[in-house]
Chains A and B, each alone.
Chain A
Amino acid sequence: KNEVEQSPQNLTAQEGEFITINCSYSVGISALHWLQQHPGGGIVSLFMLSSGKKKHGRLIATINIQEKHSSLHITASHPRDSAVYICAPSSNYKLTFGKGTLLTVNP
């Protein structure tokens, strides 16, 4: 059983749409990271959160520790947002990565 489940696995949207990517995890954690991976490999850390909500530009991340669930939202999506978004809960100083959600935003 995967410790980290992301949904959907693939998501196609039109430019301007509101995007939601979900992450559920089964282990107790101290924090959760959201990362972005563009084609070619480069991974960039977007958020680290342990409670509540964080906002950075058009990106919003929320977490519910009791329900072991986190969401990443993108408002007014743009083709440059096309990438793989990875959820990574952390415990015992170690990250466990989800398989990622492939987002494609069409113009």
Chain B
Amino acid sequence: EAGVAQSPRYKIIEKRQSVAFWCNPISGHATLYWYQQILGQGPKLLIQFQNNGVVDDSQLPKDRFSAERLKGVDSTLKIQPAKLEDSAVYLCASSLGPSIADTQYFGPGTRLTVL
């Protein structure tokens, strides 16, 4: 079974530039998560999708971050414009459903460096 795919794996941009990350979840997984993990900290949930609807985006900085999952499969996360403090690993995860009993499967992450 293929895992969660993310691209790119690494990205370096200058502040005020835009960047987009892509995630392809495990086939059949209805729930998709985007996390931000700053160095030395645990992941922080940015947004959770159930199919193509948003379940929780309470910690998403909506002035600069946006995410979509138009067809309920792939998802993109965008930052525009980027700030220095956005330097982090962006992790995508998917699960069969939103229950806490459903195991989340994580992708390898995209490491973003903002200069």
Contact = CB atoms under 8 A, between A and B. Distances in A.
Interface of A: 4, 30-31, 40-45, 48, 86, 88, 90, 93-95, 97-100
A84 B45 CA distance: 18
B104 A41 contact: no
Contact of A45 (B42, B55, B104, B111): B104
B45 A95 contact: yes
Contacts of B101: 31, 48
B61 interface: no
B106 A42 contact: yes
Contact of B106 (A30, A44, A99): A44
B106 to A, nearest CB: 4
A48 B103 contact: yes
Nearest to A45: B103
17 contacts: A31-B101, A40-B109, A41-B89, A42-B106, A43-B91, A44-B106, A45-B103, A48-B100, A48-B101, A86-B43, A93-B55, A93-B98, A93-B99, A97-B42, A97-B44, A99-B40, A100-B42
Contacts, number: 49
A72 to B, nearest CB: 15
Nearest to B98: A93
A41 B41 contact: no
Contacts of B14: none
Given A43-B93, A48-B101, A95-B45, 6 more contacts: A31-B101, A41-B109, A45-B104, A90-B100, A93-B55, A93-B99
Closest 6 interchain pairs by CB? A97-B42, A41-B109, A43-B106, A90-B100, A97-B43, A45-B103
Contacts of B72: none
A72 B111 CA distance: 28
A92 B42 CA distance: 19
Nearest to A86: B42
A42 B46 CA distance: 18
A4 B42 contact: yes
Contacts of B100: 30-31, 48, 90, 93, 95
Contacts of B44: 97
